[in-house]
Structure 1
Amino acid sequence: MAVSPQVFPPRKRRPSAGSFIPPNLSDRKLLQSLLLISREVSSLPTLQPLLKRNSCSIIRKTKLLAILFEELLRNMTTRFTTSIRLCFEELYIVLQRIKTLIEDCSNGSKMWLLMQIESVSNTFHEVNVDLSTLLDIFPAKDMNLNEDVAELVVLIRKQCSETQTFVDPIDENLRREVLKMLDLIKREIVPEHWKLSEIFDQLHLRDSTSCRDEIERLEDEVQNQTDEKSKADVIALIGIVRYAKCVLYGASTPRATSQRRKSVGDVNFPADFRCPISLDLMRDPVVVSTGQTYDRASINLWIESGHNTCPKTGQKLTHTDLIANHALKNLIAIWCREQRIPFETTATNDRKTNGVLMNKTALEATKMTVSFLINKLTVSQSTETANRVVHELRALAKSDSDSRGFIGEAGALPLLAKFLGSDQPNLQLNAITTILNLSILEANKTKIMEIDGVLNGVTEVLRSGATWDAKGNAAATIFSLTSVHANRKKLGRKTRVIKGLVDLAKEGPIGSKRDALMAMLGLAGDRETVAKLVESGMVEIVSEVMDEIAEEAVTILELMVKRGGLVAVAAAYHLIKKLTLVLRDGTERAQESAAATLVTICRKGGSEAVAELASISGIERVVWEVTGTGTGRARRKAASLLRILRRWAAGLVDGNVAHGYTTMSTRIVLPA
């Protein structure tokens, strides 16, 4: 079937760090630089399997240039004229371009290189023409070259005299075959495996590992493209490579690295990238009427729950319009790319991957891949094979919302639930992490809550998982589910869920403790659940972990004192001292929550709580410093604390003077 030719724009090339030679080099140093760069190019391997002839030709000519520069350096007797020097400087730039071109082709995606084979072949021709031009004007007579060197210059000139671009017919035919394959997938026709195998063999993508590396290169290439059409084309290629990897070579063996996801706790990221509500990395930052920025999903949930105030400032929202913060979103996306953390926006009605509109080819390739993997999972097989398939689903579920949707729709959740009780730690971890990745999609949250055995399986992993990573990912799944308001009540009524989170927060390592606290923070949005958390010893747990993960701990305390846990928090007087330490040494966000919590405790906890705060040595100095250096909200809360402390000192708290605290020996004199 004839396929209309598809135009792929050239790749966004990496700028070369050495495109220009340092100024004021001596003549000998200039020749030495030319010899060095020509030797570097000469040592590069010929490109395989694409552009073999083009790369071989340019490398061969560069080897001759290296001989020329070596001879010139050996026989150098006179100073260079201006014309000689200019010619050599231009030669250096061209050689640097050749080096960058070959390295770029060698290190990049084979699939994308194939799709733009004509334009890249033309680039090879252009640098060849530049070499030919420079050699034509090469001032050989001015350099008093001996006969052998002069003949070498003539030889190089002849070899650079190609008059047209050469596109290898083998490369071009292979490109056409890939385009046909993409067209078949677009029309929902499953490609013949033998033909797929033939194409991938010619591209030297002959096993699961090479395909996985190719997918990573294509994912990098998405970021290199500047227009949406090109990005969508690359994503289509990712789809076909992912499908071929699964059907031709089977699911890949997981890399021998930690299988735990990269979470908030594993990476130190800028505080401004964190949503004040969820404390997680913002994927779709928006600005509310008070000027504060939140993640769209979190602030939507807050507003839909009936709130009409700004969570951070407490000010009333004059309207509920959300304005996209594009500048911040771009900064977060760049940071995520540098950290190799997946970044995507909240799913919309459009089919998008990492903000790029997906074409039908990419969607159909993803569907075919999911269908193949689910069919494999339903067949009786060894634990090792099952682990590989589940790991493949895990990677796919991590990639984009479309994949999560297809996996959920294909019936993967009950199949994955069977492996949650596996006695093989890796299989259990892969299964729970896949469910965690799937839970990001709203539709899948409902499936996890409603499909028999899935939520129970997640709960059992939370309570008795084989590894801390598995338990932590189960807790993170609970947290993901709590973003739906109705789920909070259901989860909060499950004693096993509460018990599992409490135990994990008590006994787990830092990362798992953080996951447990975040899940409890999500559950604490419901008043009934707060009471259960208090009964389970939540206050003491928060106190114990506050030194290690202060932001999460004080955020939970702030929410608890607002949602019915005030009495328990206020009664734990040792917490007041810990909160003042956070107020003094914590991050800006931790200071905000600590100040807000102390204000609530003092206002509603009675004079005893105020007296406990006032008895702490240097407290007024700490609070005063926050009024000058904290965030806007922290300054306002600190100012409220100062007023409370002054009223207490004057005996005006609750209309009484607290016995035993009629003076404040540690009080400092504050400006009026």
Structure 2
Amino acid sequence: MTIAVHHMDRSPSQPSPNSVNVETCPMFRSISEVKRELKKLVRLAAQDEEDCSTEVYDEICDKAQVLKKYKCRKPQPAAPSKSRSFSDQLDSIPVPDCFQCPISADLMRDPVILASGQTYDRASIQAWLDAGHRTCPKTQEFLPNLTLTPNYLVRTMIEQWCRWQGLQLECPLRNPNPNANEKGSEGMTPQDRAYLSSLVAKLSGERQSQRREAARELRALTRKKSLYRAHLAQEGNAIPALIPLLLSPDLETQEHAVTTLLNLSILDTNKKLIVEEGVLQPILEVLRNGSMPARENAAAALFSLSALEDNKIAIGASGAIPALVELLRDGSRRGKTDAASAIFNLCVSQGNRGKCVRAGVVPVLLKLMKNVEEEGMSMADEALAILAFIAGNEEGAAAIRNAGALPLLIQFIKHSSDRNKENAVVIIFALCSRYSAYYKEVKSAEEGDGYVALLDLSISGTSRARRKAYALLEQMNKHVSV
């Protein structure tokens, strides 16, 4: 299927005429350096509790050096023009590709991250989603949720770049409250309010067909209109009217209801409200016993709701984790993806990691890693990322070791992406830290290939992977006699 998006399919070998060479330009080389270091800090804080403080300190020192060098060679900004608009000024300056929205090819004013990991300008990607699309415009992968997360790093870089270019901003690029225009009923017509109220009333109607059609219509409306999501959840009393339909014997009604709640949860200000209304147990019922499309969307809803830390704890306490693991094991391709995304998010909270292990997630994840041809590499990526969380838990480390995961982890270190190699060595490092005898197993794994793979990773891996591999090799030489 061809998607008509301006400049979306530009090959890396065919740079934009307005592009700036990031590798040769001192200004952007240092910015790129800072960006990579900040991403590592985020992953360290989430996954590596035991040696986080030392590594974070090292990363901060590295970034400080980069910024110091950068400051010394920062160009003097040109005097801002007071007679020309921001758009006119921008027309005469080459905009780096990394600051352009992949959809509009314009400078991003409010960069946000889609569930696929791609960054877009909020206005452009919201229009794409409001048109009913559930795929990423750039990668075309299906989106497990429609959440838009502000990309504060890119936003700050753009603002700084504008200042260095002498661009006079008519208003700040930063939007301190991206959901401000979605709160309340502002912008809605009386006819809109009346129609939505009539649909909510029909959700409690006497006839099953009436409830089904109302839920179907609300599902369509909340998918397309962010303004409706705010009104229905915060003023339209739709959430308490939808919850009973999650227990409906009519599976189609149930599917429409859970998908409408998924759509409502896209808006950050609704996430807490939805959980407080008591939605978790009814959603869990759908996750266990609904049709496969309903189970998929129930898992996606839990993923979306778990963006809030308090919700992570509440979802973990609700008993949802065993049902998510079951869907991860036996569900459709999309169901497995939704379940993996939800489990990953829940594992950010340490209290949920042991619950995942007790629910039997480790053998399920290892099976996904083994069956790459059948399940797809993206599922293996998710499985490794979840295992990297779980390996830091005592129960998780024991389960991974007892499952005999080492040969598989070595294979991923030898023949996979940088991200997977990093997660694999993090898992091995966690196991060796708990079990000194594991050093010997690693050194002799795959007839010595394990040692060679770590040696290669200590030279050619990511910064974090190199540190872990080097530490493993150093400790291995102490614990294992030649």
Q: Tell me if 1:457 matches 2:282.
A: yes
Contact 2:328 2:364 in 1 (8 A): yes
Task: State the Cα distance separating 1:360 from its structure 2 match.
Answer: 12
Instruction: Tell me the residue number matched to 1:497.
Output: 320
Which of residues 518, 534, 538 in structure 1 aligns to 2:341?
Answer: 518
Q: Which residue of 1 aligns with 2:410?
A: 580
- Normalised to the residue count of structure 1, the TM-score between the two structures is 0.46
8 Å CA contact 1:370–1:407 kept in 2: the answer is no
Aligned to 1:561: 391
For the residue of structure 2 that corresponds to 1:544, the secondary structure is: helix
Counterpart Cα distance in 2 of 1:293 and 1:533? 29
**2-structure distance, mates of 1:308, 1:642:** 17
Structure 1 residue identity aligned to 2:281: N
SS at match of 2:405: helix
The answer to whether the 8 Å contact 1:530/1:564 transfers is: no
- Are 1:408 and 1:438, in contact at CA under 8 Å, matched by a contact in 2? yes
Q: 1:527 aligns with which of 334, 350, 359?
A: 350
CA contact (8 A) 1:419 1:428 kept: yes
AA paired with 2:331?
A: G
Task: Please list the CA deviations of residues 159-189 of structure 1 after superposition, one character each: whole Å capped at 9, or x if unmatched.
Answer: xxxxxxxxxxxxxxxxxxxxxxxxxxxxxxx
Measure how far apart 1:459 and its partner are.
0.9
**AA partner of residue 619 (structure 1):** G
Report the counterpart of residue 196 of structure 2 in structure 1: 373
**Could you say if the C-alpha distance between residues 459 and 590 of structure 1 is closer, same or farther in structure 2, counting changes exceeding 3 Å?**
same
User: Does the 8 A contact of 2:222 with 2:229 survive in 1?
Assistant: yes
Query: Is it true that 1:506 corresponds to 2:332 in the alignment?
Result: no
**What is the 5 A alignment of 1:137-286?**
none
Report the Cα offset of residue 351 of structure 1. 6.5
The answer for the alignment partner of 1:477 in structure 2 is: 301
**Counterpart position of 2:271:** 445
- The Cα shift of 1:451 comes to 0.9
- What amino acid is the match of 2:357? V
Residues 121-169 of structure 1: CA distance to partner in whole angstroms, max 9, x if unpaired?
xxxxxxxxxxxxxxxxxxxxxxxxxxxxxxxxxxxxxxxxxxxxxxxxx
1:640 is aligned to 2:466: no
Does 2:422 correspond to 1:592?
yes
Cα distance between partner residues in 2 of 1:411 and 1:361:
13
Distance 1:443 1:611, change over 3 A: same
> Which of 229, 233, 243 lines up with 1:404 in the alignment?
229
Alpha-carbon offset, residue 573 of structure 1:
5.0
What is the match of residue 98 of structure 1?
A: none
The higher radius of gyration belongs to 1
C-alpha deviations, 1:59-97, integer Å up to 9, x for none?
Answer: xxxxxxxxxxxxxxxxxxxxxxxxxxxxxxxxxxxxxxx
- Give the conservation status (yes or no) of the 8 Å contact 2:418–2:462: yes
For 1:337 and 1:290, locate their aligned partners in 2 and report how far apart those are by CA, in whole Å: 23
Provide the rounded CA distance (Å) in 2 between the counterparts of 1:455 and 1:389.
Answer: 22
* Structural mapping, 1:293-304, within 5 Å: none
Q: Could you say if the C-alpha distance between residues 341 and 442 of structure 1 is closer, same or farther in structure 2, counting changes exceeding 3 Å?
A: same
Matches of 2:207 and 2:55, distance apart in 1: 52
3-state DSSP class of the match of 1:363? coil
Aligned twin of 2:98: 327
Residues 1:510 and 1:344: Cα distance change in structure 2 (over 3 Å): closer
Post-superposition offset of 1:385: 4.6
Q: Give the 3-state SS of the residue equivalent to 1:364 in structure 2.
A: coil
Q: How many residues align?
A: 358
Contact 1:557-1:569 within 8 A present in 2 as well: no
C-alpha distance in structure 1 between counterparts of 2:141 and 2:36, whole Å? 30
Query: How far off is 1:614 after superposition?
Result: 2.6
Structure 1 segments unaligned to the other structure (5+ residues): 1-219, 225-269, 271-285, 664-672
Query: Taking structure 1 as reference, are residues 397 and 527 closer, same or farther at Cα in structure 2, changes over 3 Å only?
Result: same
Question: Conserved in 2, the CA contact under 8 Å of 1:387 and 1:430?
Answer: yes
Correspondent of 1:436 among 262, 275, 298: 262
Superposition deviation, residue 456 in structure 1: 1.6
Q: Distance in 2 between matches of 1:466 and 1:363?
A: 37
Q: Distance in 1 between matches of 2:182 and 2:273?
A: 25
Residues 482 and 522, structure 1, Cα contact 8 Å, conserved in 2: yes
Q: Deviations over 1:408-430 (max 9, x none)?
A: 11111122222212333333222
TM-aligned CA distance change 1:346 to 1:615, over 3 Å: closer
How far apart in 1 are the matches of 2:226 and 2:97? Answer: 20
Contact 2:199 2:218 in 1 (8 A): no
Q: Name the SS of the counterpart of 2:446 in structure 1.
A: coil
Q: 1:273-329 deviations in whole A, cap 9, x for unaligned?
A: xxxxxxxxxxxxx9996644659xx969x69xx999699978555799xxxx99367
**CA shift at 1:580, angstroms?**
1.4
The question of whether the paired residues in 2 share the 8 Å contact of 1:352 and 1:401 is answered with: no
Q: Supply the distance in 1 between the matched residues of 2:429 and 2:328 (Cα, whole angstroms).
A: 26
Q: Give the 3 Å change call, closer, same or farther, for CA 598–289 of structure 1 in structure 2.
A: same
Deviation at 1:601, TM superposition (A): 1.4
CA gap 1:644/1:499 in 2 versus in 1, 3 angstroms = same
Residues 540 and 318 of structure 1, relative CA distance in 2, 3 Å threshold = same
Cα deviation code 1:578-597 (max 9, x no counterpart): 11122222232222211211
Provide Cα deviations, 1:494-546, integer angstroms capped at 9, x if missing partner: 2x312211221222123212322222222223333222222222222222222
Name the CA distance, whole Å, in 2 between partners of 1:557 and 1:597: 7
The separation in 2 between residues aligned to 1:327 and 1:308, in whole angstroms, is 32
CA change 1:344–1:330 in 2 (3 A) is: farther
**C-alpha distance in 1 between matches for 2:183 and 2:396:** 53
Q: Which amino acid aligns with 1:481?
A: L
Q: Distance in 2 between matches of 1:312 and 1:517?
A: 28
Residue of structure 2 equivalent to 1:364: 188
Letter in 2 for 1:507: D
Instruction: Using CA pairs under 8 Å that are at least 6 residues apart, name the structure with larger relative contact order, 1 or 2.
Output: 2
Note if contact 2:185-2:231 (Cα within 8 Å) is conserved in structure 1: no
**Which of the numbers 201, 210, 218 marks the counterpart of 1:393?**
218
Counterpart residue number, 1:168: none
Please, which of 449, 453, 470 is the counterpart of residue 622 of structure 1?
453
Is the 8 Å Cα contact of residues 373 and 389 (structure 1) preserved in structure 2? no
What amino acid is aligned across from residue 451 of structure 1 in structure 2? E
Give secondary structure in 1 for the equivalent of 2:348.
Answer: coil
Counterpart in 2 of 1:111?
none
Query: For the residues of structure 1 that align with 2:438 and 2:349, how far apart are their CA atoms?
Result: 28
> Are the counterparts in 2 of residues 479 and 522 from structure 1 also a CA contact under 8 Å?
yes
SS in 2 for 1:483: coil
For residue 460 of structure 1, report the CA deviation from its aligned partner: 0.6
* 3-state DSSP of counterpart to 1:615: helix
Q: 2:246 aligns with which of 420, 425, 431?
A: 420
Name the SS for the 2:262 alignment partner: helix
Equivalent residue letter for 1:475: A
Counterparts in 2 of 1:419 and 1:555: CA distance versus 1, 3 Å: same
